[in-house]
Structure 1
């Protein structure tokens, strides 16, 4: 299987980070009681181009 390459610079090393910390999470629309979920961001380790964003705990929705 060939390694995925960054669409912007062609680099093949990607990093992951978490967006949200319990206070700043993605929240469901029309739900006041859910704590929501952080987002996981995958980005190029060379230029920082974001390749994907996903919800860490989709079952919270």
Structure 2
């Protein structure tokens, strides 16, 4: 994995976290969904990426 660099402050220390608010398919109201995982700069808090923990949840 190449070293990441923050676009806002040029920091190189990152962490991952989640808000535990699941994202659900629009057409499946009772789906458990999947967590969002954020990668963010530990220096300034800028979010570098957001990804879905289990994208298979959205396959039809």
**Which TM-score bucket, shorter chain as reference?**
0.7 to 0.9
Which ranges of 4 or more aligned residues in structure 1 deviate by more than 6 Å?
none
Alignment root-mean-square deviation, CA: 1.4
2:8 paired residue number: 8
Aligned residues: 58
Matched, 1:43 2:40: yes
TM-score by length of 1: 0.85
- Unaligned runs of at least 5 residues, structure 1: none
- Unaligned runs of at least 5 residues, structure 2: none
TM-score by length of 2: 0.86
